[in-house]
Structure 1
Amino acid sequence: MKIRLGASALLISLTLSTLTGCAMTDGNGKSNGTDSTGNAGSTKGSGDIPSAGTSNSEDAADRAEQVSSELFDLIGIKGKATEPGPGVSECDGKDPETYFRIFHPWSLFPASADQLDGVMERLKTELPQHGWEVVEYGPDTSKNQNLSLTADNDEKKHSVNITYMAKDERPRLSLMLVSGCYQVPDGEKVYRF
């Protein structure tokens, strides 16, 4: 299900600017990532968002939903996932009619809170076995110091941030999946949703 974003667009924009594919490489194998603050890493390259290839925004959103589904299966916890659907954002510094990124925020509420015990440590170990490189792991900067993990997948051209919201009234995993920068096929324009 795809929906239009309202007031949360600013928050998502801020998240996208900090979750930029830390170690993903561009189509030529060159590293083009930034660190978790959006700054170019000292040995990672220019700090540009990596290319994800050519696609229209609907197909790219379908791929993001597929990657989210794979992550859901990898998490392996019974519960309810929110279904806000992917959205489209701009690639900083590029023509917004031609280039775009896909973001897909969602949360997983477990059937019981104790199912989340140890899940982040397990994901830190298991994600690399499925093509993800864990580039950041530890408490976030929130008041609750939620445990957070950021991982990149060069092959899938996506990055994910997973945060364990242990101290919320309803403990959950909060995920933000973002793609590299897509270019629409010649003659097409970006369709935004």
Structure 2
Amino acid sequence: MTERALVLAVALVLTTLTGCGMTDDSAAGGSGSSPATSSGDTSGGIRSAGISTSRDASDAMEAVSSGIYDLIKVKGKASDGRPGVQQCPGKDRDTYFRIFHPWSFYPTSPADLDAAMENLKAALPRHGWKIVQYGPDTSVNRNVVLIADNDEQKAGVHITRMKKRNPPKLSLTVVSGCYQVPDGQEVEHF
């Protein structure tokens, strides 16, 4: 499976998960955000993340990714993946959007890959994340997958430990809830 296909597959999985327990009474961080105007509004099962411009929401999801990176606690390097914009299912693409941020973490020593995943598994719940899935996938490589939601940050994360990859890495995708642009503006797609 190509990296792009993997990102799209992960985004589809997170479409269902980022909204499991999200509420509409607070927005994700970032300037320009404010609470959603209609309580209980969902987009194809995805809860509202509030009102924001695409750029401010992108900055907020980068901050979420940065917080996750800090929890790894293993020396290594993160890829330079930039956030992108995707449509909220069943909503006007010029008014509603989600942010997805795919990136990878490469430990300095491949032996530290397991420690990086265990650190995330232990630390995410202490930082407001609810782990909704953890364990090996059905691939030949039996990659370990961790999926978690954060109601406060209106985000979900899908993490895959790819031990047999060359080089070994953690593949991460952070996905936001569904944002609405401020009145009079349109979604900036990037």
Q: What TM-score do the two structures reach when normalised by structure 1?
A: 0.82
Aligned to 1:95: 92
> 1:173/1:11 Cα in 2 relative to 1: closer, same or farther (>3 Å)?
closer
> 1:105/1:46 Cα in 2 relative to 1: closer, same or farther (>3 Å)?
closer
Does residue 80 in structure 1 map to residue 82 in structure 2?
no
How many residue pairs were aligned?
A: 172
Q: Give the RMSD, CA atoms, in angstroms.
A: 2.1
> 1:69/1:140 Cα in 2 relative to 1: closer, same or farther (>3 Å)?
same
> 1:10/1:89 Cα in 2 relative to 1: closer, same or farther (>3 Å)?
farther
Residue in structure 1 matching 2:12, options 2, 5, 17: 17
Determine helix, strand or coil for the equivalent of 1:186: coil
Aligned to 1:49: 46
Which contiguous aligned blocks of 4+ residues in structure 1 show a shift greater than 6 angstroms? none
Could you tell me which runs of 5 or more consecutive residues in structure 2 were left unpaired when the two chains were aligned.
27-41
Please tell me whether the aligned partners of residues 49 and 176 of structure 2 are also in contact (alpha carbons under 8 angstroms): yes
Higher helix share: 2
Deviation, structure 1 residue 125: 2.1
Match runs of 1:21-170 below 5 Å: 21=18, 23-27=20-24, 48-170=45-167
> 1:22/1:114 Cα in 2 relative to 1: closer, same or farther (>3 Å)?
farther
Deviation, structure 1 residue 11: 4.4
Deviation, structure 1 residue 140: 1.4
Please tell me whether the aligned partners of residues 24 and 157 of structure 1 are also in contact (alpha carbons under 8 angstroms): no
Q: What TM-score do the two structures reach when normalised by structure 2?
A: 0.84
Please tell me whether the aligned partners of residues 58 and 84 of structure 2 are also in contact (alpha carbons under 8 angstroms): yes
Deviation, structure 1 residue 25: 1.8
Measured in 2, the distance between the counterparts of 1:114 and 1:12 equals: 25
Measured in 1, the distance between the counterparts of 2:123 and 2:89 equals: 32
